[in-house]
Amino acid sequence: MVNLDVLLFTAFPYFALFICIVGSIYRYKFLSFKYSSLSSEFLEQRKLFWGTIPFHIGIVLIFLGHLFIFIFPKETLAFNSVPIRLIIIEVGAFILGLSALVGLIGLFIRRLTNPRISIVTSKMDIFVEVVLLAQIVLGVWIAYDYRWGSSWFASVLSPYLVSLLTFSPEITAVSQLPLVIKLHIIGAFLIVLLIPFSRLVHFIVAPFSYIWRPYQKVVWYRSKNRVRNPEESWGVTRPKNN
Partner 1 sequence: MDVRAQISMVFHLDKCIGCHTCSIACKNIWTDRKGAEYMWWNNVETKPGTGYPTKWENQSIYNGGWVKNGNDIGLRGAGKLKGLLNIFHNPNLPVIDDYYEPFTYKYLDLIESPDMDDQPTARPISLITGKPINIKMGPNWDDDMSGTPDYARNDPNMEGLSAAEQEAMFQLEKLAFFYLPRICNHCLNPACVASCPSGAIYKRGEDGVVLINQKVCRAWRMCVTACPYKKSYYNWSTGKSEKCILCYPRIEAGYAPACMHSCVGRIRYLGVLLYDADLINDTASSENEDLINRQLDIILDPFDPKVISAAKANGVADSTITAAQNSPVYKFVKEWGLALPLHPEFRTLPMLFYVPPLLPVMAKLTTVDNTDQSKKMDDRAKYWPDNWLYDTSTEELFSTIEQARMPLKYMANLFSAGDESKIVNVMKKLMAIRMHRRRATVGDISDEKADNMLEQSGYNALTADDIYYLTSLAKFDDRFVIPASHREQAIEMLEFTGDVKGSVGFGFIEKPARGI
The footprint of partner 1 (CB under 8 A) covers 30-45, 48-49, 52-53, 56-57, 115-116, 119-120, 122, 124-125, 197-199, 201-202, 205, 207, 209-211, 213, 215-224, 226-228, 230, 234, 238-239, 241
Name the residue nearer to partner 1 (CB basis): 72 or 197. 197
CB of 37 to partner 1, least distance (A): 5
Name the residue nearer to partner 1 (CB basis): 167 or 210. 210
**Shortest CA distance to 47 belongs to which of 104, 101, 99, 107?**
107
Name the residue nearer to partner 1 (CB basis): 41 or 145. 41
Neighbours of 228 (CB within 10 A): 12
Can you tell me whether residue 147 is helix, strand or coil? coil
Can you tell me whether residue 221 is helix, strand or coil? coil
Neighbours of 72 (CB within 10 A): 14
CB of 242 to partner 1, least distance (A): 9
CA distance 90 to 41: 33
CA distance 198 to 128: 7
CB of 72 to partner 1, least distance (A): 25
Surface-to-core class of residue 178, CB atoms within 10 Å of its CB (0-12 exposed, 13-18 middle, 19+ buried): exposed
CB of 41 to partner 1, least distance (A): 6
Residue 205 main-chain phi, psi, to 5 deg: -105, 30
CB of 58 to partner 1, least distance (A): 11
Amino acid at 204: I
How long is the chain? 242
CB of 110 to partner 1, least distance (A): 12
Name the residue nearer to partner 1 (CB basis): 37 or 176. 37
Name the residue nearer to partner 1 (CB basis): 37 or 81. 37
Name the residue nearer to partner 1 (CB basis): 43 or 88. 43
